[in-house]
Chains A and B, each alone.
Chain A
Amino acid sequence: MANPATVTGAHNAAPVPHLSVEGVTLQYKTKEHLVTAAYRIDFNVLKSDRFVLLGPSGCGKSTILKAIGGYMKPVEGKIALKGREIGKPGPDRMMVFQEFDQLLPWMTVKQNVTFALTASGRLRGNAADERAMQYIEKVNLANFVDSYPHMLSGGMKARVAIARGMAMEPDILLMDEPFAALDALTRRKMQDELLQLWEDTKFTILFVTHSIPETLSGRVHELLFADEVEAEATHD
């Protein structure tokens, strides 16, 4: 009944896709319905892409991101990162969320970043500390390393989350409307900062947003449009 989001954006025939999404259909259950959030989606993300998934609220773009994160299994189709199919969540695909509580409140800024590195087994001891400091400095929070998240402003929290994601040096950074909860001025600033960080390190980003200005400031590589009307039908 529900005819979900379909992809109409064109994409380059890329030689070696970094992340490939092939014919992926995603469904989740609510108490009453089985909702199809995405239907036969295809796209490829290349290395060092800033790939933007753009669409209205509720069109299934966050669900696609969750599936790439490994939190959801596609009903059909295949998602592969560097040729390996995605099974469960892992530190090679770091997520940056829009919620402020994505930082662990019982740890300082530095511990939050270091813990990500040690808990995932990427680095340990001094190496983890150094890497954490390096990325915290990159997001201009060196003066706040020993602050707890509740002492920081929304923009600063978002910066810590980005520093944490980048410190892991993941194969791909998945950002789910990371600036949506920020005020317009801070958001604008964060977008510029993110772009600057990308210029420095050229990491691969998959960015989900419903804000067209955000997409434009991100200099889009590829757009994924969702059919708004049908998408809304899937949600009710």
Chain B
Amino acid sequence: MTDLDVTRPEFIRKGNTSNTFGVVEKPLSLTERIYDINWVRKAFIILVLAVIWQVYASYVNNVLLFPTLLETFRALIDGLWSGGLLKRAWFSLSLLLQGYAIGLLLAAIFTGIAIGTRIGQDLLETLTSMFNPLPAIALLPLSLLWFGLGSASLIFVLIHSVLWAVALNTHSGFKSVSTTMRMVGRNYGLTGTSYIIKILIPAAFPSILTGLKIGWAFAWRTLIAAELVFGVSSGSGGLGWFIFEKKNQLEIPGVFAGLLSVILIGLLVENFIFRVVEARTVRKWGMQS
């Protein structure tokens, strides 16, 4: 107890005031700040890739196999100018939105039943584990048989691609809501639907948002793939069909333009719509870093 080392006596350090020492806050240099902007770095990468593409394609010099970036852009602008590409993209998107909306509605119903009852939960778990690994596109032949050549069979496949991903994530989100938070909700006297809407859904929102994103990505891929197999319904088709047509007409720059628009739409939704929703919800709430 008295083993105090006399060579190192106790001391109490007095706090410094900030004017007695140097830098507290120093602005970063301009290059550091520019380098810190996410999209600037990504734009730079895209620029480099674009240059590589252009140089390599000029070297190959074969429009049928690998058109240059400029030719692709020309085809893209032509497509946009003539209105063909926009109409196709809109056709795809409107189909997608219908499938997505119905898929979400069904997912909501399924998870609603699942939180209400034990058997509902078993039902949802069994169905998701059965159907989630099944690629939606594999159902296309059946869907064509049942619903015929047309939008209905595409929407059916889309629903399948959205429903299970969203239901699975929402359900596991609900299940992981902490006991304390549930008890707080019930303490306010909330029950039934108001309890689900006011406590469970916001508390599980990070998982729900993940489900929505996965569902969107699945649906978009499935749709383009399905359209490649068949796209004609009453004389119009979507982006997938545009790509297929251009390939048949050996307009390879058009094929590239189609692919580019598929990528662009995917990026737009992911980086603008979902990014904004994320920033305004889960990030702001500190539920996701």
- Chain A residues in contact with chain B, CB under 8 A? 69, 71, 88-91, 93-95, 97, 99, 101-102, 104-106, 115-116, 119-121, 148-151
Q: Does B9 contact A (CB under 8 A)?
A: no
Residues 275-289 of B, flagged 1 when their CB comes within 8 A of A and 0 if not, give 000000100111100
Which residue of B has the minimal Cβ distance to A121? B189
Q: Does B203 contact A (CB under 8 A)?
A: yes
Residues B180 and A89 in contact, CB atoms below 8 Å apart: no
Residues B189 and A151 in contact, CB atoms below 8 Å apart: no
| Other contacts beyond A119-B190, A120-B190: 11, CB < 8 A | A71-B183, A89-B186, A91-B189, A93-B187, A99-B178, A101-B178, A105-B287, A106-B202, A115-B198, A119-B194, A150-B285
Which residue of B has the minimal Cβ distance to A112? B184
Contact residue among A90, A101, A104, A119 (Cβ-Cβ distance under 8 Å from B202): A104
Alpha-carbon distance A95/B194, docked complex (angstroms): 20
Residues B286 and A151 in contact, CB atoms below 8 Å apart: yes
Which residue of A has the minimal Cβ distance to B282? A106
Number of residues of chain B lying within 8 A (CB) of chain A: 21
Residues B187 and A95 in contact, CB atoms below 8 Å apart: yes
Contact residue among A69, A106, A149, A151 (Cβ-Cβ distance under 8 Å from B187): A69
Given known contacts A102-B180, A148-B286, A149-B286, is B281 in contact with A91 (CB within 8 Å)? no
Q: Does B52 contact A (CB under 8 A)?
A: no
CB distance from B122 to the nearest CB of A (A): 18
CB distance from A119 to the nearest CB of B (A): 4
CB distance from B264 to the nearest CB of A (A): 33
Alpha-carbon distance A121/B189, docked complex (angstroms): 9
Q: Does B205 contact A (CB under 8 A)?
A: yes
Residues B286 and A105 in contact, CB atoms below 8 Å apart: yes
Complex interface: chain B residues within 8 A of A90 (CB): 187, 189
Residues A89 and B189 in contact, CB atoms below 8 Å apart: yes
Complex interface: chain B residues within 8 A of A148 (CB): 284-286
- Chain B residues in contact with chain A, CB under 8 A? 178, 180-181, 183-184, 186-190, 194, 198-199, 202-203, 205, 281, 284-287
Alpha-carbon distance A90/B187, docked complex (angstroms): 5
Alpha-carbon distance A91/B188, docked complex (angstroms): 5
Given known contacts A101-B181, A102-B180, A104-B202, is B187 in contact with A89 (CB within 8 Å)? yes
Contact residue among A101, A120, A150 (Cβ-Cβ distance under 8 Å from B180): A101
Which residue of A has the minimal Cβ distance to B202? A106
Contact residue among A102, A115, A151 (Cβ-Cβ distance under 8 Å from B181): A102
CB distance from B281 to the nearest CB of A (A): 7
Complex interface: chain B residues within 8 A of A119 (CB): 188-190, 194, 198
Complex interface: chain B residues within 8 A of A88 (CB): 186
Residues B286 and A97 in contact, CB atoms below 8 Å apart: no
Given known contacts A106-B285, A149-B286, is B183 in contact with A97 (CB within 8 Å)? yes
Alpha-carbon distance A94/B181, docked complex (angstroms): 13
CB distance from A92 to the nearest CB of B (A): 9
Alpha-carbon distance A115/B199, docked complex (angstroms): 11
Which residue of B has the minimal Cβ distance to A93? B187
Complex interface: chain A residues within 8 A of B284 (CB): 148
Residues B184 and A102 in contact, CB atoms below 8 Å apart: yes
CB distance from B204 to the nearest CB of A (A): 11
Q: Which 3 A-B pairs have the closest CB atoms?
A: A150-B286, A89-B186, A119-B188
Residues A104 and B203 in contact, CB atoms below 8 Å apart: yes
Alpha-carbon distance A210/B213, docked complex (angstroms): 46
26 cross-chain CB contacts under 8 A: A69-B183, A69-B187, A71-B186, A88-B186, A89-B187, A89-B189, A91-B187, A91-B188, A95-B184, A95-B187, A97-B180, A97-B183, A101-B180, A101-B181, A102-B181, A104-B184, A104-B199, A105-B287, A106-B202, A119-B189, A119-B194, A119-B198, A148-B284, A148-B285, A148-B286, A150-B286
